[in-house]
Structure 1
C-alpha cells in the first residue's frame, strides 16, 4: 500500500488547462466553483471511491449516461490502484472529484439547461454548491446520501424511475408497424386483429392467456379501452388513427420518452409548494392542490404547436372578474385585421373598441387599414369576451395567464391544443373560489354578484399559491404506465441531446401571446 500524503488542488472539469493545479477552476453546468485549495483526505478511504463508482453506474436508473462521468476510466484506475504512481493517484482523485460534482449537478438541475434550449421556458435553477457537497461527502464518508438528496423528491419522479425499470425489463419487441387506415370495433373480424392483440398483451392490457383469434371480442374491447385510457385517448374501444399510432410505439421509443421526462423533472423546483395549481400541457388538465392534496381537477385548453404555451413556475397574484381583453399583436395581425377586411362589422360585433397611442377612443369611421397596427384594440367585458368572465394573473415574461373562454364547447374535445398560448380553464369560477378560500366574504354568491354587475374588478390573492405549467408525456400511476401525445414534439430531440447525439441547431419555439 502506498502512503498517500494530503493532496492540495482546486477542482477542474477539463484536463490540459494548465500545469499548476492551484489554477484549476471547475465549470460545471454554468456554475463556476470558487478558486479554493481543498485537502482531499476522504479519497484515501476505498469505501468512498466504491460508493461513488456504484452511484455513477446506477445513474442509468435516472436516465443518465455513466460515461458522462468517466465511469470506465474511473473503474480502470480503481482496478490498478495498488500499481498507480503518486501522480496517477492525484489524477485519479481529481477525476473522482470532477465526476462527483458533474453527477451531483445533473441530478440537481438536469444534464441540460432548458433556458438554452427553449426560449419560452421560464424555470429557475435549483440551488447547487458542488464544492460544499463534495466536502460533506468526503468528511462524512457518505456519497450515497449526498447524491440521493440531489434528486427530485417528488413521488412522481420516483414512480417514473419505476416506469423506466419496467420498460427495460420487457422482452425485445419485434413488432412490424401496423400500416392500415381501417377502423376496428367490437365484433369485427380482420387479419390485423391478431397483431393488435399481441401488442395489447405485450403492454399488459390484454391477458397473456387470451386466445389469439382474428375476432374483436369482449376481452379485447376491455383491453383496448384500458390502453386508450393509459394514453389519454377517448376510451371508446374503437381502434382508429390515434389508437393505432400509440400501438405502433416501440419499447425503445417509450424508454426514450421516459428518459426525456426524467430530465424535465430535474429542471423543476424541488418544492412545488403546499398550495399550488399545476397544469400538465400534454395531459390537458389542471390540478388544484391544497395542503399537498389534490382537491380540484379542471380540463384545460392549451396553446397550439405554432403558438405554444410556455413552461414556467410563478405565484398567483390576482383574479380579474369581468376582464377586458387587449388584442395581442400577433392575433391582431393574423386574425383581427384580416377579419375586419372581410367585414367592417367584425369589430363592433365583438364589442372591440379602438384606441390610439394617447389612449383616446377612435371611431370606426376614422379608422383605416393602412395604419391598423398602430392602434390598440380592447374587447369589453361580457359573455362574448375572449377571456370569458374571469382571468387569473401571475408574474411571467410571456404575458400568459389562466382564463375562462367564450368557446366552452372546446372542452368536450379530447385533443385540446387549440389556444394561442394562454391556458383556458373549464369551470374557472369554481377555481377562482378555491383560490380565494381565505379571502373573507368571497364565496360563490359574492362572485355571482360581481359578475352580475358587469364591471371589471380585480381581487388580490393574499395567500401564497404557486402556479406550475409543466410538460410531461410519461408517468406511472396506480400500477400503470401512462403516456401522452408529445404535442410540441419535444421528446425526441431532448433524448438525442441527453445521449450526446443531437447535431442540429437550438430549438426555436414559436409561440404567440394569448387568448
Structure 2
C-alpha cells in the first residue's frame, strides 16, 4: 500500500504540469555512465519512471543501472538551491516543484527505499526540466508565432548533466548553459535592479494632453512621484504642480531610457511609459529573458543585428560595432518577422514588384478610384504573357491576373538598394523613398521589410572593395539606373530579433512593445 501511495503521489506531482518535456533530438546518443559513490543507493522502479513520459529521464537512470544517484548531500543541496533560486533568472521555482522537494529533503533520514527512489526521480526530472528551460526556453516560439523563423536549439541534457555530476562540477552547469550574449546578461542585471525597487503605491497619471517647461498642471505631482521612484529625479522635491527645470531634466532622462524623443515635452508617450508599474516592468524583463533563450547560443564572427522595437541596426565585426543605423520596421498589422539568416546579395537600382498584401489593401482600391494611380508612381502593369497593359484596359475584377512592377530610380519604393537573404517571408533590407521617416521617433511604418538609413554607405562598407565598389563607383552604378546585383563575399549573419528591455550602466532601459508581445508571453510563461 505504501508503494502504491507514493506512485499516486508522483502522478499528482507531475499531472499539473501544462507542458511535457519535449523529446530531445540529441537523446538517441549514448549517454555517459553515471559514477556512483559510497552513499546509500536503492533500486528505481522503471514503472514509476514511465509515469513521467520522459525519454531522457529513462536514459539517465539506465546510465546508473536503475539506481538512485542523489545520495551525496552536497550534490543534492546544489540542485535544490538552484531550483529555489530559479526566480533570479526569471523562472518560476514551482515549475520545478521546489517546495515539495524541500519537504522530501527534510525527511531524508527517515525515507524508506521506495520514498528515497521517488525523491531521487523527482530531483532528476525537475532539474533536467530546469536545465532545458534555461538553455532553450520554456516555450516554443514556433507554436506561438507564425512569423518567427528561428532554428530549434537542441540540447543533450543527459550528457551535460552526467558529465558535471561525475566531475563534481554541478556548481558551474547552470551558468555554462545560459546564453552568453551581453544583452542576456544585461537582462539578468535588469531583473536584479528592478527587484531592488520598493513596492510602489503610486497613482495613475490621468487626463494629460501635453505639458511643456514652466507649465502648471495638477498631474505634475504624480509625475514627480514617479520620476523620484524610478530615480530619474534625485533628492527631495516639494511636489508642486509647476513644471520646473529640475523636473524637465528628469523627464528628459526618463524619455531617453525609454527610447522616446528626449525633448522634455510630456505627452501621451511619456505618460504611458510613466504609468508602467514595477510589476509590469518586471514581467517585461522576464518575457525578454525567455526570448533570448530562444535565440542562437553564439553569434557569428560578423553579423547584422536588428532590434525591431528599438528601430536600430548594428553591424558587428570581430566583436566590434563598426556601423550603427536607424531603421524603419513593419507596422503592428504588417509585422517585421523575426529571422536568423545570412546576407547574400546587394542589388543596386532594384525594381519593385507590388506584393499581394499591398496589392489587395492599397493598390486595387486606389486604382478603382483613379486609373492613373500606378502611372504616377512609375509602375507598369504586365499581363501573364509579359505584355504591357494600359491602365484603361486593366480589369479591376481580376487584379491578380497581372504583375505590377515599379522601375528603378530614386523614388522607387525600395529606393536605390536592397540586400537579400534567405527567408520564408519575402522580406529584405532596403533603402526607401520615404527618407524623412528616419527622423521620426516611432518608426513602425513599413509593410514588413526593414528600411535602412544611408544604405549606400552601408553597401560600400560590407562590399569592402575600394576599387570595384568605391563611393565613386557606386554612384556611377546608381546614375546608370540599371539593375545590378553583386554577391556579398564577406560572410555576415543576420539577426533580426525582438527585445524591449535591457540595462546599461546599472540603468533600466525599455522600449515600446510595438507588437504587444510582452504581456501575453509572460502570461503563458506563468500558466
SS of equivalent to 2:499: coil
| 8 A contact 1:400–1:421 mirrored in 2 | yes
Match of 1:37 among 62, 86, 100: 62
Higher deviation after alignment, 123-132 or 362-371: 362-371
Matched, 1:51 2:78: yes
Aligned ranges 1:436-455 → 2 under 5 Å: 436-437=463-464, 441-455=468-482
Partner of 1:16: none
| 8 A contact 1:23–1:35 mirrored in 2 | no
Partner of 1:324: 351
Aligned ranges 1:260-271 → 2 under 5 Å: 260-271=287-298
When normalised by structure 1's length, the TM-score is 0.91
Counterpart Cα distance in 1 of 2:146 and 2:518:
16
Match of 1:293 among 303, 313, 320: 320
Partner of 2:214: 187
Matched, 1:406 2:433: yes
What CA deviation, in whole Å up to 9, does each residue of 1:192-232 have, x standing for no partner?
22221111010001012334333211111110100011111
Q: Which runs of 5+ in 1 are unaligned?
A: 11-18, 501-515
What CA deviation, in whole Å up to 9, does each residue of 1:451-476 have, x standing for no partner?
11111111111222011111111110
Aligned ranges 1:407-486 → 2 under 5 Å: 407-437=434-464, 441-486=468-513
Distance 1:466 1:3, change over 3 A: closer
Counterpart Cα distance in 1 of 2:74 and 2:161:
15
Counterpart Cα distance in 2 of 1:23 and 1:119:
33
Higher deviation after alignment, 411-420 or 364-373: 364-373
Matched, 1:389 2:416: yes
Match of 2:257 among 196, 205, 230: 230
Deviation at 1:34, TM superposition (A): 6.0
Counterpart Cα distance in 1 of 2:471 and 2:517:
40
Deviation at 1:356, TM superposition (A): 2.5
Counterpart Cα distance in 2 of 1:144 and 1:57:
14
Deviation at 1:359, TM superposition (A): 3.5
Higher deviation after alignment, 225-234 or 37-46: 37-46
Matched, 1:169 2:169: no
Higher deviation after alignment, 298-307 or 181-190: 181-190
Counterpart Cα distance in 2 of 1:23 and 1:262:
31
Deviation at 1:42, TM superposition (A): 4.5
Counterpart Cα distance in 2 of 1:439 and 1:396:
30
When normalised by structure 2's length, the TM-score is 0.89
Distance 1:91 1:33, change over 3 A: closer
Counterpart Cα distance in 2 of 1:465 and 1:333:
35
Counterpart Cα distance in 1 of 2:486 and 2:45:
57
Deviation at 1:244, TM superposition (A): 0.9
Aligned ranges 1:28-177 → 2 under 5 Å: 37-39=62-64, 42-177=69-204
Higher deviation after alignment, 173-182 or 481-490: 173-182
Match of 2:383 among 356, 372, 377: 356
Deviation at 1:55, TM superposition (A): 1.0
Alignment root-mean-square deviation, CA? 2.0
Distance 1:23 1:75, change over 3 A: closer
Higher deviation after alignment, 436-445 or 147-156: 436-445
Deviation at 1:21, TM superposition (A): 4.3
Distance 1:390 1:88, change over 3 A: same
| 8 A contact 2:208–2:219 mirrored in 1 | no
Distance 1:269 1:81, change over 3 A: same
Counterpart Cα distance in 2 of 1:158 and 1:440:
41
Matched, 1:367 2:394: yes
